[in-house]
Amino acid sequence: MTGARRLRRWDLAAVAVMVSGALTVVWNLCRDVSGTMNVNYADQHQFEFFLAHGAAVVREGRNPFHTTAMNFPDGVNTMANTSVLGLSLPLSPLTMTIGPHATFLVLLGLVFVLTGLAWYALLSRTVVASPVAALVGAAWCAFAPGMVSHGNAHPNLVGQFLVPLIVWQVIRAARRRRPWRDGAVLALLVVWQAFINEEILLFTAVGLAVFTGLAAAVRPDLRRRARPLIAALAVTALLAGAALAYPLWWQFAGPQAYHGLGAHIPTYGNDLASLLTYSTQSLASAVLPEHLATPAPAPNQTEETAYFGPPLVLLLAGLVWWLRRDRTVLVLAAVTVLFGVLSCGTAISWWGRPLLAGPWQAASRLPILDSVVPARLALVSIAVAGVLLALGADRARRVAPRPAAVALGVAYAVALLPTVPTPLAAVPRHRTPAVLVNGVLDAYVTPGHAIMFIPPTRVTVPEPMGWLAEGGLRYAMTGGYFLGPGGDRGRGVSAPPGRFFDTWLYDIRRTGYVPPITAQQRALAVADLRHWRVDALVMGPTRRSGRLRGAVTRLLGVTPQYSGAEDWVWNVRPLLWGHSHAPLP
């Protein structure tokens, strides 16, 4: 069998492995597509909204960088949010065909597959000779515990399929003297990645800069390649800078722009113990006793970004020692450790107990870095660990005696099997109120006006974002879960500033207590609704719906109209604007 034919057979095996892994991860969501959500349902609803926004951009020519379908009338700066235009625009035909909820599920599985295949292509074509070794490293890069944890509704972080291509193109640029061609291709990849996730692009750029700088310092032969690489990078900076100039201006200076995130974000770091424990979504957590399977503290289940486990940490350390004559391996190890330490955040902790200040404490004060979630820096360590795993397996197949190679294979199995992913957990999904998709509200909502959900949308009440998305963003809504200005010194917060009416509604939903209603409260509520230019109030399935319905009816003096199931609509136009309409059918 020729080498090319053998490689093609392993390519098919790589496709099978990545597809099988992705199906395993999303299995619980696939069993009942319309009836289930990710456990991180707030972020899933938000991504479904932005998938619908991408479809609306293609279908209606809406502004891709700003939308008033959420947070009406001020709107949302989509460039300053995870609007994933680099994914939502290409997927817009699918979104318009099967809806944003089903499209999200397709996207989540697809990014796992594409990321794994991209790493396999890079490793098998440029890094190692053995396709088996490349497959081992690529599978880890795609399905490491940190990646699977971000499968909890973070397709923008899981979707790293452009990262290996960017690395590959940098390698090509250093080996060839075609600065314009290589720089232009790299610019296209950079621009596309910027519209998927800028955080991953930043990590990739910094990681490559650290690696190339250290590699050039310890390997004089690499310095000769500096000139063609610098020339290609200059072309990339010129072309990508020109393409991204206006979107970045909009992001940092356009409507609803903000500068940095809250002071709590730099504290979202990895606990040191996370290196020696297993994540919630790993095979080890599913089969080990509870006292052995408990993961170290994390900001939340979605941000369990390290979690290698003791055998894998020992294996990686052993591989670095075995391959220490290769200076590139030492550089890779240094990058892994550096980003692992940075991912600890502002304080290095052990099982939640701070030990000393982390280096991120100083870095988090810098512009751009003040918007980074430090725990995610471990994603760089995950990728580099995958390269080390591929290099170790490749060396074992080429030069190690058969008994030693077998022993190393057993060590790989012991280290990697506990990290095998288990299906993501799922929760029930609320159905979309019919009035948002059947056009009934058209008679009540005029152009330039909005609807308001009861209670208004925010991170704790995210369902209306998904409902609005299922309706194709046919209407604009007040409130929302997004990042916009409102914090100290213009920092981003996840909700617009509260007013009387929405605060009053949230309190009732939270406590069930309806305070005595006064004329002053009614005047404040009417003023708020006029400020938001609301024509209709809509209530779908929600907690304490009876209390909320009665409270809103008494406060506004408007009788709601029953529209089926648990859905109610208040036509407030006569109250606010003096116009009336026929009742809902």
Q: Does residue 67 belong to any structural domain of this protein?
A: no
Structure-model confidence comparison of residues 262 and 216, the more confident one: 216
Mean pLDDT lowest for which of 215-229, 231-245, 384-398, 569-583?
569-583
Residue with tokens 């279908």: 59
Residues 408 and 439 in one domain: no
Residues 213 and 302 in one domain: yes
Q: Does residue 529 belong to any structural domain of this protein?
A: yes
The answer to whether the bond into 354 is cis (omega within 30° of 0) is no
The whole-angstrom separation of Cα 287 and Cα 276 is 17
Residues 445 and 360 in one domain: no
Paired tokens of 325: 């004559």
The whole-angstrom separation of Cα 107 and Cα 142 is 14
Q: Is residue 585 scored above 50 in pLDDT?
A: no
Residues 130 and 155 in one domain: yes
Taking each continuous run of H as one helix and of E as one strand, the counts in the chain are 25, 12
The whole-angstrom separation of Cα 397 and Cα 405 is 7
pLDDT in tens, 447-459: 999 999 999 999 9
Specify the amino acid at residue 508: I
Q: Does residue 49 belong to any structural domain of this protein?
A: no
The whole-angstrom separation of Cα 358 and Cα 48 is 36
Among residues 234, 240, 228, the alpha carbon closest in space to that of 187 is found at 240
Residues 410 and 442 in one domain: no
**Percent helix, strand and coil across the chain, each to the nearest 5:** 60, 10, 30
Among residues 571, 584, 482, the alpha carbon closest in space to that of 534 is found at 571
Mean pLDDT within 252-261: 92
Among residues 497, 505, 441, the alpha carbon closest in space to that of 467 is found at 441
* Measured CA distances, 65 to 79, 298, 492 (Å): 5, 32, 17
pLDDT at 536: 96
Among residues 72, 71, 74, 67, the alpha carbon closest in space to that of 53 is found at 67
Q: How confident is the model at residue 487 (pLDDT cuts 50, 70, 90)?
A: low
Residues 470 and 518 in one domain: yes
Residues 350 and 442 in one domain: no
Q: How confident is the model at residue 3 (pLDDT cuts 50, 70, 90)?
A: low
- Mark which of 419, 442, 476 sits at the end of a domain: 419
Q: How confident is the model at residue 397 (pLDDT cuts 50, 70, 90)?
A: confident
Q: Does residue 44 belong to any structural domain of this protein?
A: no
Mean pLDDT within 252-268: 89
Residues 338 and 456 in one domain: no
Global pTM?
A: 0.95
Q: Does residue 389 belong to any structural domain of this protein?
A: yes
The whole-angstrom separation of Cα 200 and Cα 251 is 17
The answer to whether the bond into 485 is cis (omega within 30° of 0) is no
Paired tokens of 479: 């409130």
Cα 545 to chain centroid distance, Å, stands at 31
Residue 480 Ramachandran class (φ > 0 left, ψ -120 to 50 alpha, else beta): left
Residues 406 and 514 in one domain: no
Mean pLDDT within 101-116: 98
- Mark which of 419, 444, 461 sits at the end of a domain: 419
Q: Does residue 223 belong to any structural domain of this protein?
A: yes
pLDDT in tens, 111-128: 999 999 999 999 999 999
pLDDT at 160: 98
Q: Is residue 468 scored above 50 in pLDDT?
A: yes
The whole-angstrom separation of Cα 198 and Cα 190 is 9
pLDDT at 579: 57
Q: How confident is the model at residue 584 (pLDDT cuts 50, 70, 90)?
A: very low
The whole-angstrom separation of Cα 548 and Cα 537 is 12
Rounded to 5°, angle at Cα 545 from 540 and 547: 150
- Mark which of 419, 449, 468 sits at the end of a domain: 419
Among residues 471, 483, 581, the alpha carbon closest in space to that of 453 is found at 471
pLDDT in tens, 5-15: 777 788 999 99
Q: Is residue 130 scored above 90 in pLDDT?
A: yes
Q: Is residue 583 scored above 50 in pLDDT?
A: no
Cα 101 to chain centroid distance, Å, stands at 16
All residues at 6 or more sequence positions from 473 whose CB lies less than 8 Å from its CB, including other chains: 49, 52, 53, 56, 67, 69
Residues 472 and 396 in one domain: no
All residues at 6 or more sequence positions from 370 whose CB lies less than 8 Å from its CB, including other chains: 260, 261, 265, 266, 364
CB atoms < 10 A from the CB of 515, how many? 11
pLDDT at 219: 87
Q: Is residue 582 scored above 70 in pLDDT?
A: no
pLDDT at 85: 98
Average pLDDT of the chain, as a whole number: 93
Can you give the three-state secondary structure of 2-25, one letter per residue? CHHHHHHHHHHHHHHHHHHHHHHH
Among residues 199, 200, 109, the alpha carbon closest in space to that of 163 is found at 200
Domain range for 227: 3-31+99-419
Q: Does residue 441 belong to any structural domain of this protein?
A: yes
Residues 566 and 481 in one domain: yes
Q: How many domains does the chain have?
A: 2
Paired tokens of 395: 């060396």
Q: Is residue 554 scored above 70 in pLDDT?
A: yes
Please state, for a pLDDT cut of 90, what percent of the chain lies above it.
Answer: 81
Residues 356 and 452 in one domain: no
Q: Does residue 72 belong to any structural domain of this protein?
A: no
